[in-house]
Amino acid sequence: MAFDLDAVRKEFPILSRQIDGSPLVYLDSGNTSQKPRRVIDAMTDFLENSYAPINRSSYRLAGEATEAFEAGRRAVARLVNASSPDEIIFTKNATESMNLIARSWGGANLGEGDVVLLTHMEHHANIVPWQMLRDERGIEIRWVPLTADGQLDLTDLDRLLDGAKVFSFTAMSNVLGTIPPVAKLCAAAHDAGALAVVDACQYVPHNATDVQAWGADLVAFSSHKMCGPSGIGMLWGRLELLDAMPPFLGGGNMIDTVTLDGYTTAPVPAKFEAGTPPIVEAVGLRAAVEFLEDLDMSDIRQHEMDLTRYALDTLNGRFGDEITIYGPDDVAVRGGVLSFAFRDLHPHDVSQVLDERNVCVRAGHHCAKPLMQVLGVQSTTRASFYLYNGTDDVDALADALAGATDIFGF
C-alpha cells in the first residue's frame, strides 16, 4: 500500500491535541519521536496483565514476562538484520551503548598512542567517551573534516586511518541530516585494521537498516527516536566481538557464578545486561518495531525524502538569503533534519516565536558543540521531520517564521 499520511497520523493520539484552539505541529523528532497507540496499549496491557520479574523466577507469570521481553529483542534483531537476537544488547539509551563500547572494548584494547578516528559531525555521545579514554590512557583522536555542503571530506581518509584502531562515526547527522556512505566507511576501517563503530541513532528510525550489509562491528541506536519508549537503547555487535569484550557493569543477571574469589560471566547478551532490565520498555519497543515494519521502512524513507525536498524548496524559496539551512541539498544523502539560521535572530528567540504558533522545534547546539564551531555558530534552530509530518507542517513552519517579522520588526 502507498504511504497514507492521514492513516499514520491517526495512530498517534498526541497529534490530535490542540493548544489554545490550534493544532500541534511537532517538528522535534530528531530529539524524540511521538508514540503510536499500539505502543501505548502494549505497555499498558503488559503492566495490567503480565508484569513480573524476568529470568529469575520459575512461575508462569514470570515466564510470560521473560518471553515478552525477549520478543522485543527478536524484533530489533529482525529490524536491523542481525544474524542472531543474541547480538542485541539492551541498554538505557544509545549514549550508554556508546559508553559501553568505549569502556568495554576500548578499555581492553586501547592504550597510549592508539588512534581513534571520529568526524566533525558527531554527537557528544560519540565524542566524550573517547575523550575520557584519551585523558586516562593517552590515546590520540583524529577527525574527518566536512565539505562546504556538510558532507564528509574523504579525500584524506587513508592517511587519517593509518594506524587507527577505531573509526567511529554517525550514520546520519542529527544537525546536518547528512547520511555518509556507511558501508564504504566500514570497509575503509577494516582495510586499515580498525574497528568500525556506527552511531545509528538518527538512521535506524528513518531508513531500512542492514548491519550485516554495512559490514559494521558495533552499532548503537535508541528506542525513543523510533516510535518506542524512552529508557531503552540498543547495541548490536558481531557475536564473536561481544564474546571477547569484558562486561561493562557488574551485578545480578550478568554472572554465571560468583564466589568469594571471583566471578564468571553469563553468555552474551546477559553479560552486558546487569540488574533488572527495562522490561516494560522492551514490550513497547517490540510494538514500535512492528508498527514501522507494517508501514515499511522504504516507504517511510521515500515519504521523508519527498517532504525534505519540499521543505528545502519552500523555505529557501520563501525566505531566500534570510535563511541559511545547513547540510546537503541533495535529499538522497540527507535525512529530514533541517538546522538553520534565520535572519539575525537568536535560535532561542526563533523557537519561542514558533512555539506561539504551536510549532515545536529545538534550538541549541544539539549536543554537537564541535560541529557548531565548524559551522561558525553558537547554536541553530532545528526542525526535524518524521513519518507523521506532511507538507502542511512545513507550511505551518514557514508561516510561523514569517510571523517573526511582526514581533521583531524585520
With residues binned 3-state (H G I as helix, E B as strand, rest as coil), the percentages for the chain, rounded to 5, are 45, 20, 35
Q: Which of 178, 177, 180, 156 has its CA nearest to residue 168?
A: 180
CA 131-156-120 angle, to 5 degrees, is 35
C-alpha of 151 from chain center:
18
HEC assignment per residue over 330-344: CHHHECCEEEEEECC
- Cα dihedral 14, 18, 22, 28, rounded to 10, equals -30
Which residue type sits at 355? Answer: D
The pair phi, psi for residue 405, each rounded to 5°, is -60, -45
- Which of 186, 201, 227, 367 is catalytic? The answer is 367
Burial 170-179 (b: 16+ CB within 10 A, else e): bbbbbbbbbb
**E strands, 80-127, where?**
88-91, 115-119
Which residue type sits at 410? Answer: F
What number of other Cβ atoms are within 10 A of residue 254's Cβ? 19
- Tell me the torsion sign for CA atoms 280, 66, 291, 95: positive
Judge whether 201 counts as a catalytic residue. no
At residue 224, the 3 state secondary structure works out as: helix
Active site amino acids? 367
